Amino acid sequence: MLELDGMNADSLIAMLKASFTLDNFTAMIDISDKIIEMIAVIHATAPKGFEAQRLRRPIVYYFGFSLCAKGIALQKLGDYRSARQCIEKYSDLSWVQLDDEESVEEIEYYKNTARANAFVLDLLEGKEEILPEYVNFLKLGAREELTAGLLNILDSALRYSYPVDWVLEELQIGIEKPEDTSPAVDVRYYIEYIHLLSVYLYKRGKSAIAINLTLENIVLSGKLLDRAGFRKAIAFYELVRAEANISQLQEYHAIMRNILEGEFNDENYEKEAFVIDNRIAD
């Protein structure tokens, strides 16, 4: 049970982002509910008072972010009905009744986010027919949302066994590989996307490409301290190892050797290896 009492809203937001990075969906729901409860009190009693002024962002942001995060967590846990209920709540936040420019922008942002996440739930329920509309939505949206969009599409394609090669051709060009300074959430999305792409290509009979991508993902997830992605990449490689060629086997061996040598050459490796718990997405 999380101890959340005594924390302010912005600290809880940081904790919520960290829980997402770690795929701790149960914690996300608990933290989101706590934030919603806290902000609801401020909104009902003094929406422009001292407590509201101490917040880093407008009140509507905390409602939108928390409901969105809770919806994503419920989606990840397979509770699509409850996830849709969250989407309905943040699709129209005009009831917050704050008309400053930043609040209006937040209301519009979560309206668009709700539409995007409704598409995601449709895909996860196997509604392949909405794919063209969703692809067009991604093309018109923010570039940084492409990775998450493709991740959702690949997830649906793998669940329901339908091809999405045409989607990959249209959208992959906009994908950017994260760097050391990238927000943790961007790292998590990209590495999970590459993992699902590897699985998809393998199932489409392109095992050599899939294994090469997996080897790249092992290196990248280790470098960028994505513990969950590293585990998945290793596990998938082991499952398909029998189809790896000599060059790929040698590369995997070299990667493992470099990891071990790097650890044993670093006196503080136990403290520094995969320190993701305290990385907070911007």
Q: Which residue has the tokens 């189809």?
A: 243
Q: What is the CATH number of the domain that holds 37?
A: 1.25.40
The answer on 111 and 15 residing in a single domain is: yes
Count of beta carbons in the 10 Å neighbourhood of residue 231: 12
Question: pLDDT at position 239, please?
Answer: 95
φ and ψ of 22, to 5 deg:
-90, 5
Question: pLDDT at position 272, please?
Answer: 37
DSSP string, 110-137: HHHHHHHHHHHHHHHTT-GGGHHHHHHH
Q: Is residue 148 a part of any domain in this protein?
A: no
Contact status, residue 163 vs residue 157, Cβ threshold 8 Å: yes
Question: pLDDT at position 177, please?
Answer: 87
Count of beta carbons in the 10 Å neighbourhood of residue 246: 7
Q: Is residue 156 a part of any domain in this protein?
A: no
The total domain count for the chain is 2
Structure tokens at 247: 């060059």
Outline where DSSP puts E strands in 23-156.
Answer: none
Q: What gap in Å lies between CA 131 and CA 122, rounded to an integer?
A: 9
Q: What gap in Å lies between CA 114 and CA 268, rounded to an integer?
A: 44
Give the domain-ending residue among 104, 125, 146. 125
The answer on 118 and 184 residing in a single domain is: no
Q: Is residue 205 a part of any domain in this protein?
A: yes
Residue 231's pLDDT band, with cuts at 50, 70 and 90, is very high
The answer on 190 and 91 residing in a single domain is: no
Q: Is residue 186 a part of any domain in this protein?
A: yes
Q: Distance of CA 222 to CAs 141, 227, 246, Å?
A: 30, 7, 23
Contact status, residue 194 vs residue 148, Cβ threshold 8 Å: no
Give the domain-ending residue among 84, 107, 125. 125
Q: Is residue 268 a part of any domain in this protein?
A: yes
The answer on 1 and 108 residing in a single domain is: yes
Count of beta carbons in the 10 Å neighbourhood of residue 93: 23
Residues 78-114: pLDDT tens digits? 999 999 999 999 999 988 877 788 889 999 999 999 9
The answer on 194 and 264 residing in a single domain is: yes
How confident is the prediction for the chain on average, in pLDDT?
Answer: 86
Residues 185-230: pLDDT tens digits? 888 889 999 999 999 999 999 999 999 999 999 999 999 988 889 9
The answer on 27 and 111 residing in a single domain is: yes
**What's the pTM?**
0.74
The answer on 184 and 118 residing in a single domain is: no
Of 10, 9, 31, whose CA–CA distance to 20 is shortest?
31
Q: Is residue 87 a part of any domain in this protein?
A: yes
Question: pLDDT at position 280, please?
Answer: 32
For 2, the domain range is 1-125
